[in-house]
Structure 1
Amino acid sequence: MRKKHGDIFTIQAAGKFVTILLDPHSYDVVLWEPRSKLDFNQYARLLMDRMFDVKLPDYDPNEEKTMLRMTLQNQNLSSLTKAMSFNLWNILLSDPSRTSLHWKEDGLFHLCYSTMLRAGYLTLYGNEGKDYEDVSGQAKDRANSLEIYNEFYKLDQLLMKAARSILSAGEKKTFDSIKRDLWKLLSVKRLDCRANRSVWLDSYKQHLVDLGVDEEMQTKAMLLQLWSTQSNAGPAVFWLLFFLLKHPSAMAAVEGEMQTIFGSRKQTIGQVHGISQEKLDNTPIFNSVLNETLRLTAAPFISREVLQDMLLTLPDCREYHLRKGDRLCLFPYVSPQMDPEIYEEPEKFKYNRFLNADCTEKTDFYKGGRKLKYYTMPWGAGINVCIGKFHAVNSIKLCVFLLLRYFDLELKHPDTKIPGFDKERYGFGMLQPETDVVVRYKLKDQ
């Protein structure tokens, strides 16, 4: 479509006219247009209802983000990072089934998605007991988080169809049954009894109370937030580890950096959980690997509903008429992320693509001879930028660090090809593989 029609064109999809804009130099025009003309709220409310049966009175996503932003940053970020490190340690290194010196096989996607969702859930929604190092509490957390993950994964297989309203009658029945099971597990009464709840959780619940939402709808909103906060980090860890396993030079560079930053593998549990934000930030090679991974595998749509007939004026003075009731959509995965004018061989993984020669972050990328403000957009942009980015990045680093530091990990079949993408996932954040990749892992000899 882009080759034929250029970087802005209109299509008809599901009876609705959608204008697609693929020029990253023009994205700010859309991102900062007043909400009286271009609005995200209507589409957000539609998806919340279709996917999770959530209806919130006077719901304003931007107001909600503003209110919750500080619960995921600054001092709260430090608390979340410490909690995430404890919970990852519990899932990965306190589970007898995983800490064998003998080789064990698993799907890499299953390993990464289950680990990140379980630890992320415990970090935000709380633990069975207050003491992270209590053996009995750890076992209960592993059992509870595994139950949550197993049910959530079944739901996740149907969510994209639910978002597009294409579930069959049988699938709809199954989908509703799984949601009911998850609502029981995530009921606000049950969550109120958990220890170590995050400031984010308590603030979000109070926000719902302030909106006048009853307990039943609060519980449904907790499932919505589990998906919103936990559905992307696991797939990101999967793709990052898969690329490292397929590119030995990248793996060696990351492991060398981790050795420099984090020191000996024989650290105590207290030293691991005491990793400072300064150390987590001082990983330019890993940051480049993560940026490259997300460039290749993050594919969210940035959508706006057109609320009034309007003229969209692009920076190059081109003008386009948009009709009230239509939709405007940016798809950064096509451009800038996979644009051959911006990135040489954009389909290939290059771990140092976002590194300068002096190992500082590379931010100078060009299109049409002009430097780009938006050269990759996995976290969104403008008022819709992900408020949990810093927590997500810390969590991804901690998970990869623990897996590579304490486990021998390898592809069962070294010649495994990069799996195709599940095309249903385009538009909803991180892409997932069509098929899993079998790996072998065992605890390293200390």
Structure 2
Amino acid sequence: MISLSHGSKIHCGLSLCHILNTRASHTYYLGLLDLTLNSFHIGLISRRPGEPPLDKGFIPWLGHALEFGRDAAKFMTDMRKKHGDIYTVQAAGKFVTVLLDPHSYEAVLWESRSKLDFGQYARILMDRMFEVPFLHEQTLQNKNLPTLTKAMFFNLRTILLSDPDRASQQWKEEGLFHLSYSTMTAGIKLKTWPSPWIIYTEFYKLDRLLMKAARSILSAGWCVWKHLWKLLSVKRLDCRANRSVWLDSYKQHLVDLGLDENMQTRAMLLQLWSTQSNAGPAVFWLLLFLLKYPSAMAAVQGEMEAIFRSRRQKIGQMHGISQEILDCTPIFDSALNEMLRLTAAPFITREVLQDMCLRLADGREYSLRKGDRLCLFPFISPQMDPEIYEEPEVKYDRFLNSDGTEKTDFYKGGKSLKYYSMPWGAGINVLNLSCYFSHFRCVFLLLSYFDLELKDPNAAIPAFDKERYGFGMLQPEKDVIIRYKLKAQ
């Protein structure tokens, strides 16, 4: 029996991936009939009193899926202009309620998991993208994380200063995105798995396919998955000397969950993607903004030099940069937060597990239907809201007070905002920040040891790859060429 409630679980039995890969014509036509029947029933759904405005689009069942996938930021902004800061849209048979009022985010972020659940959608994505069950990333926050951070710092120094092609006082040219992404990926895997550069090459191929896999519009790329599973095999890991303590603890965590070696290997690939898919692009954008805005670069480098001088006075001559230097860097932190505000674009999603009432900060109440999906998109609001951030251009000291302390006072509608920037999510499912912030040591190392400049200082900042809206850090549509050389000692 098929309910006309737009939150009911109606299975169409036919995805684009299914259409492209089916071998039997009768299967195709049965699926098409199933899709047609379900589209008819979904087409009868209408908005009920107390629910957000409903926009089903003009195409039965598909609704706004194509516009959503093509450029989610533009689509959601257009819908907000049409319907306000809360509305429901149909996309590929699913009904998604979008909330863009940052004052009301807390009501969603801290709602009971019995009503709004993160895990259900995460499980769907993990299965589509990695063919592995959803794994809670508690090991990113365990006691071995400091060891991993120190190893990462050492690996980055080794990669940047031991490669004769890079550690030279002759000017070299390279794509900044390639430099950032490859260094970060190799840095976390150096001495853990063999051939870190090969792993990066294959991983980057896979990363380009994952967005399509997440949307169930691509089943290709199996050879890339298979090659990476071989490279990241737990059997190969067990044969390595000097293995990461953190990685060993993660492997034991998988064993305790009852996963066999095949699934453990797939989980290793998931872990690589979850830690590196955001780190490399974030390093790219931060370096690009510093290179593009000389005042920002001068301020960050001035802060670094002041820290060096202070440490030398306290403990004598110090060679290079150490992990302890990064403990107090308010200017760098502000520049980093500004970069994240402009380039971090994750969806924060919850599955509605039961019919419920959502009360917004201004007192409005809306009914949500069981089976729908609730989505926040902080990239649009608050991060790109001109009322909150009046100067749209890059402002490296935006998150600094006049006395040099961190600025946390931002307002919308005359009211203070608790969530004024949400690059890593918030609430129950916020990512572990210490893990991600440790990656930005790469920027300190590059600025400390290398002279860097844009090959074309007048070139425009590249546009975003719009397919990546909703999946974390954005990536550029094209790379930016830089020149760099090892600084004279």
Normalised TM-score (structure 1) = 0.88
- Is contact 1:43–1:305 with CA below 8 Å preserved after alignment? yes
Q: CA deviation at 1:190?
A: 1.1
What is aligned with 2:474?
431
2:418 to 373, 385, 399: 373
1:103 to 141, 161, 171: 171
- Is contact 1:280–1:394 with CA below 8 Å preserved after alignment? no
1:114 aligns with 2:182: yes
What is aligned with 1:134?
none
What is aligned with 2:142?
70
2:98 to 11, 16, 20: 20
What is aligned with 1:275?
323
Structure 1 distance, partners of 2:148, 2:140, is 14
Structure 2 distance, partners of 1:200, 1:270, is 29
Structure 2 distance, partners of 1:90, 1:268, is 24
What is aligned with 2:122?
44
Cα deviations across residues 249-308 of structure 1 (Å, max 9, x unaligned)?
A: 1100000001111349999999557432xx312100000000000000000000011111
What is aligned with 1:351?
396
Structure 1 distance, partners of 2:138, 2:488, is 47
Which residue type is aligned with residue 91 of structure 2? A
Structure 1 distance, partners of 2:131, 2:241, is 28
Which residue type is aligned with residue 429 of structure 1? G
Structure 2 distance, partners of 1:67, 1:442, is 38
Which residue type is aligned with residue 461 of structure 2? I
Superposed counterparts of 1:124-139, under 5 Å: 126-127=191-192
**CA-atom RMSD in angstroms:** 2.1
Q: Which has the larger radius of gyration?
A: 2
1:204 to 250, 253, 256: 250
- Is contact 2:140–2:435 with CA below 8 Å preserved after alignment? no
What is aligned with 1:84?
152
1:413 aligns with 2:459: no
What is aligned with 2:211?
160
- Is contact 1:265–1:405 with CA below 8 Å preserved after alignment? no
Structure 2 distance, partners of 1:390, 1:437, is 28
Which residue type is aligned with residue 127 of structure 1? T
- Is contact 1:16–1:326 with CA below 8 Å preserved after alignment? yes
- Is contact 2:330–2:404 with CA below 8 Å preserved after alignment? yes
Q: Which runs of 5+ in 2 are unaligned?
A: 1-78
Structure 1 distance, partners of 2:376, 2:247, is 31
Superposed counterparts of 1:239-250, under 5 Å: 239-250=285-296
Identity of aligned residues (%): 72
Structure 2 distance, partners of 1:268, 1:215, is 50
- Is contact 2:147–2:246 with CA below 8 Å preserved after alignment? no
Higher relative contact order (CA 8 A, sep 6+): 1
Q: Residues 283 and 156 from structure 1, CA distance in 2 versus in 1: closer, same or farther, beyond 3 angstroms?
A: same
Which residue type is aligned with residue 163 of structure 1? A
Cα deviations across residues 96-150 of structure 1 (Å, max 9, x unaligned)?
A: 111122111111100111111110233xxx537xxxxxxxxxxxx6xx1101100
Normalised TM-score (structure 2) = 0.80
What is aligned with 1:262?
308
TM superposition outliers: structure 1 runs of 4+ over 6 Å: 264-270
Structure 2 distance, partners of 1:268, 1:82, is 22
Q: Aligned residues, how many?
A: 409
Structure 2 distance, partners of 1:67, 1:407, is 34
Q: Which runs of 5+ in 1 are unaligned?
A: 129-140
Structure 1 distance, partners of 2:419, 2:473, is 18
What is aligned with 2:108?
30
Partner SS, residue 202 of structure 1: helix
Which residue type is aligned with residue 7 of structure 1? D
- Is contact 1:18–1:328 with CA below 8 Å preserved after alignment? yes
- Is contact 1:108–1:238 with CA below 8 Å preserved after alignment? yes
Structure 1 distance, partners of 2:130, 2:250, is 17
Structure 2 distance, partners of 1:22, 1:188, is 43
What is aligned with 2:360?
314
Structure 2 distance, partners of 1:53, 1:237, is 29
Q: CA deviation at 1:198?
A: 3.4
